[in-house]
Amino acid sequence: MLNPVAVLLVAIAVVFLFILRWKIHPFAALLVAALTVGLLAGKSPPAQVMVDVSTAFGDLVGRIGIAIVMAAVVGECLMASGAADKITRRFVALFGERLASASLLVSGFVLSIPVFADTVFFLLIPLARAMSLRLGGSNYLLNVLAISAGASSTHVFVPPTPGPIAAAATLKLDLGVVMIAGLLAAIPASLAAWAYAFYADRRWQIGVRPPPGASLAELERTAAEPEENLPGFWISIAPVLVPVLLITSATVANVLAKGTALAEMTGLLGNPNLALMLAAAIALAVLARRKRVRLRELAPSVESAMATGGLIVLITAAGGAFGAMLQKAGLGDQLGQAADKLGLSAVLLAYLLAVLFKIAQGSGTVAMIASAAIMMPMIEAAPPPHHPVYIYLAVAAGSQLGAWMNDSGFWAFTTMAGLSEAEGLKTRSVMLGVLSITGLAVTLAASRLLPLR
C-alpha cells in the first residue's frame, strides 16, 4: 500500500502519459487513473476496486448527466435558430459600432454561459471583422480579443458549461451558489482581460485578417440575414436566462424562506436538471418556429447535440470516479498537511493544481475536473475556513493560465482570426493569463473578506 501522495503522483503521471504521449481520449485516461488509484491505495480488495470505480462513475452521471446534455441541446438550438445572432445584434445596437468591442465582450459573456466558448468565437468573429472594416480596418485585434475575453470568462466560471458543472458536482456545491459566485468573479476577470485587449491592440496594431479561404471583399458582404427574419430578442435570450433565474431563485428561497411552499416550488423548478430541460424546450420551440417545422423534424439536430453532450458526460463522470478513488485513498489528510508545511492556502493549492493540468494537457475542462477531484478529499478531511465555492473559483481561474499550442482553443482563435502562433501567444494567451490572475485575486480577497461560513 503506497502513501496517498505517491498514489496521486502516479495517477497524474498516468493521465499525462495517456493524453500527451499516447493521445488517448481523456475519458479513458481518467478512468484508468481511477483504477490505478484504487489498486495502489489498497483500501479495497482488488476484485472490489472496479466496482467502486463504477459506482462513483454512475453517481456523478446521475447528478450531472441530464444537465450537461440539455445544455448541449440549448447551445445547438441557439446557433441553428439564429437566436445567438439576434442576441449579438441587439448588444451591438445597444453599445453602438464605436464601442464594438464592448458589444462583442458582452455578447461573448452571455452566449458562453450555455454555449462552448469556441463555438461562440466562430459565431462572432465575422461580426468582429465586419465592424473593423466599417471603421476603416481599425481595432481588429481589440474586437477579436474582446470576444475571447467575454466567452472565456463565463465558459470557466459559470455553469452549465461542462467544466463548471462538473467541478461544482465534484465539490458537492449548490449550483445556484456557484452561478452567483461565478458571475461575480467572471465580471472583473473579463473586464481586466478586456483592458489588456486595448493595450495589445495599441501595441501591435494588427489589421483585419481574412479567415481561411475567404477574402476581405467577401467579408464586406457579410450581410447574412435581415434582422427582422431572426427570432425576437427576449425569446432568443430566454434559454440563457431561464435556467440561471430558476436555479438561483431556488438557492435564494431556500435561504430566506426555507420550509415554505415557495421554497418547495422554487426547489422543484430550480432543480438544475428540470431548469435546463425547460430551457431546452424553449430553445427547441424557437428553432422549430424559425425553420417552420414540427418538433419531431428536429431530431437530427437534437441527436447531434446529445452525442456531444454524452461524450462530455463520460469525461466528467470518469473525472468524478478519479476523485472518489483519491478520496478513498486518504489523500485529504496528506494534502492538508503538505499545504500547511508549504504555507499554501486551499485556494492557492487548487489554483496551482489547475494551472499544472492546464499547461500540461491543454483542456481547461479536464484541468477543472481533475483538480477539483484532487481537492475534494482535502476539503472533506480538513474543511477550509471559508465556503468551498472559493475552491471552485480558484480551480476555474487556474484552468485559464498557460493556454498555448496544446489547447484546442488556441488553434481555433489563431486560425479563425488569421493570426500566427507567435501573435496568438502574445495576445490571447497573455490576455487569458490576465483573466486567470484577476480571477485568483478576486477569489483570495473574497474568501478573506466574505468567508460565508
Give residue 347's pLDDT.
95
The confidence band for 215, taking pLDDT boundaries of 50, 70 and 90, is very low
* Rounded Cα gap, residues 44 and 254, in angstroms: 39
Mean pLDDT, rounded, for 30-52: 89
Q: Name which of 112-126, 226-240, 388-402 the model is least confident about.
A: 112-126
| pLDDT value for 332 | 67
Per-residue confidence (pLDDT) for residue 220, from 0 to 100: 44
Model confidence at 224, pLDDT cuts 50, 70, 90, reads: low
Cβ distance 340 to 378 under 8 Å? no
What's the pLDDT at 406?
A: 64
In the numeric block, which cell numbers belong to residue 355? 494551472
Q: What is the rounded distance in angstroms from the CA atom of residue 101 to the CA atom of residue 438?
A: 20
Chain mean pLDDT for the chain: 85
Beta carbons of 381 and 431 less than 8 angstroms apart: no
Where in the sequence is the domain holding 365, given as residue range(s)?
4-449
Q: Is the pLDDT of residue 256 over 90?
A: no
Residue 338 pLDDT > 80, yes or no?
A: no
C-alpha cell at 135: 471603421
All residues at 6 or more sequence positions from 221 whose CB lies less than 8 Å from its CB, including other chains:
none
**Predicted confidence (pLDDT) per residue in 82-112, tens digit:** 887 788 788 878 887 678 899 999 999 998 8
Q: Which residue has the higher pLDDT, 434 or 345?
A: 434
Whole-number pLDDT of residue 413: 86
pLDDT given for residue 267 in this prediction: 87
Q: What is the pLDDT of residues 133-175, one digit of tens each?
A: 766 778 899 999 999 999 999 999 998 888 898 899 989 999 8
Please state the rounded mean pLDDT for residues 437-445.
97
Q: What are the backbone dihedrals phi and psi of residue 270, each rounded to the nearest 5 degrees, phi first?
A: -90, 5
Could you tell me the pLDDT band of residue 234, with boundaries at 50, 70 and 90?
Answer: very high
The cell for 244 is: 440561471
43-81 pLDDT, tens digit each: 888 889 999 999 988 988 887 788 888 888 887 788 778
Structure confidence at residue 56 (pLDDT): 87
| Other residues' Cβ atoms within 10 Å of the Cβ of residue 35 | 19
Q: Averaging pLDDT over each range in 73-82, 187-196, 272-281, 344-353, which range is the top one?
A: 187-196
The confidence score (pLDDT) of residue 225 equals 64
What was the pLDDT predicted at 54?
A: 93
Question: Number of structural domains, the chain?
Answer: 1
Higher pLDDT pick, 305 / 52: 52
Q: What is the mean pLDDT of residues 299-318?
A: 81
Q: Which residue has the cell 488569421?
A: 418
> Could you give the C-alpha distances from 418 to 132, 209, 210, 212, 336, in angstroms and in order?
14, 5, 6, 7, 46
Q: How far is CA 46 from CA 12, 32, 58, in A?
A: 21, 14, 19
pLDDT score at 50: 92
Q: What is the 3-state secondary structure (H, E, C) of 160-216?
A: CCHHHHHHHHHCCCCHHHHHHHHHHHHHHHHHHHHHHHHHHHHHHCCCCCCCCCCCH
- Residue 91's identity, in one-letter code, is F
Write down the pLDDT at residue 223: 41
Which pTM value belongs to this model? Answer: 0.79
Residue 211 binned pLDDT confidence (cut-offs 50, 70, 90)? low
pLDDT of 191 reads 97
Flag whether pLDDT at 218 surpasses 70. no
pLDDT tens per residue across span 380-432: 888 889 999 999 999 999 999 988 776 778 877 887 788 888 899 999 999 99
Q: Is the pLDDT of residue 219 over 60?
A: no
Query: The C-alpha cell of 409 is what?
Result: 482553443
Condensed to tens digits (0 to 9), the pLDDT of residues 348-391 reads: 999 999 998 888 767 788 889 888 988 988 898 888 899 999 99
Mean pLDDT for 117-133 is 77
